[in-house]
Amino acid sequence: MALLMIAPWAPESSYGRLWASRIRERMPGIDLRHYPNELGDTAEIEAALAWMPPAGLLASLPNLKLIHSLGMGVDSLLSDPDLPDGVPVARVVDDDLIQRMSEYCLHALLHYHRDADKYDRDKAAARWDPAMAPHARERRIGVMGVGAIGRDLAAKLVALEFDVAGWSRSPKGMAGVESFHGADGLEPFLARSQYVVCLLPLTPETEGILNAKAFAAMPKGGGIVNAARGGHVVDADLIAALDGGQLAFAKLDVFRQEPLPPEHPFWAHPKIRITPHNAGITNPATAVDQILENYRRALAGEPILNTVDLSRGY
């Protein structure tokens, strides 16, 4: 029995070595193989730990009992048209990663809430021009997706006294957070949210959800933070909303194509801030135990933790 790691980073990179050393430390004697060089006999592979696997690869492993995402998102696994039937798909749900994601979003939101770009411009012009920022309770923030990450972010925003709403598929009862849900709840949610943070999974229902219609529904002069997936944003609609003044800013961590190509107009856009999909990088030190617990469960035929509902896509 073997665990196959299918990852876009090289096993000899520092991140690759961190994963391998942590896995071997926590499960001595494990037959850990890296795709493609150590694939070996595919019949011996009983679990795959994957991020962006080549389409069809998982289906070529005849004795697979578990497909485990290397991160919280699973879109790069579920987009495989040949995803094998009947094999559970699990994801990482890790407090370390959740904290990093909330921190990223808070940093972005506070940046705009306190008008940090103005003070950068003022510094460049040696201009001393203090202005009073609105109180947090006058700032209406909308969190799209209040699952593991969005719920944590919303609670932290409430603790800072922001006026917070969440949008999800099912209604929520979070203290201090106005709950909107379903297709009918989207427009009123957007209409009350000056700043919108996207923390949705990428599914056929959420693809392109941040589009011209959504931006037009938001109050003029607001902005978005997208730390979920690039496929949530319609790029041309975002640029038009920024250029036309409907939106004042966008902070983007994720893109339809990653790395973001040098010729992409987002790079040079003055109202867009970019980070290279590092809002929350899975930390092997904290995530490996739950992955190996699932590996043990798969081998023992026990129920798997943090499984994905394939019909919902998350």
- 33 contacts: CB under 8 Å, gap ≥ 6: 2, 3, 4, 5, 39, 40, 45
Residue 153 binds ligand NDP (CB under 6 A): no
> Among 65-73, 112-120, 124-132, 290-298, which window interacts with ligand OXD (CB under 6 A)?
65-73
Identity of the amino acid at 94: D
Residues 145 and 169: their CA atoms lie apart, in Å, by 8
Residue 280 binds ligand OXD (CB under 6 A): yes
Q: Measured from the CB of residue 277, what is the shortest distance to ligand OXD in angstroms?
A: 6
Please pick, from the candidates 5, 254, 288, 291, the single residue that binds ligand NDP as defined by CB under 6 A. 254
Binding mask 72-91 for ligand OXD (x = CB under 6 A): xx------------------
Residue 311 binds ligand NDP (CB under 6 A): no
Nearer to ligand OXD, 115 or 258 (CB): 258
Nearer to ligand NDP, 25 or 95 (CB): 95
Residue 170 binds ligand NDP (CB under 6 A): yes
Please pick, from the candidates 23, 48, 71, 202, the single residue that binds ligand OXD as defined by CB under 6 A. 71
Q: Is 22 a catalytic residue?
A: no
**How far apart, in Å, are the Cα atoms of 95 and each of 21, 152, 312?**
21, 10, 23
Q: Where are the extended beta strands (E) located within 71-229?
A: 89-90, 140-144, 163-168, 177-181, 195-198, 222-226
Residue 206 binds ligand NDP (CB under 6 A): yes
Question: Which residue's entry shows tokens 């923390």?
Answer: 199
Token pair, residue 154, equals 């919303």
- Looking at residue 264, what DSSP letter applies? -
Residues 205 and 22: their CA atoms lie apart, in Å, by 36
Q: Which of 34, 91, 229, 273 is catalytic?
A: 229
Residues 285 and 275: their CA atoms lie apart, in Å, by 23
Nearer to ligand OXD, 69 or 194 (CB): 69
Give the dihedral sign, CA 303/309/310/314.
negative
Residue 71 binds ligand NDP (CB under 6 A): yes
Residue 73 binds ligand NDP (CB under 6 A): yes
Residues 222 and 180: their CA atoms lie apart, in Å, by 19
Q: Is 277 a catalytic residue?
A: yes
Active site residues: 229, 277
| Residues at the interface with ligand NDP (CB under 6 A) | 71-73, 97, 101, 145-150, 167-170, 199-203, 205-206, 227-229, 253-254, 277, 279-280, 314
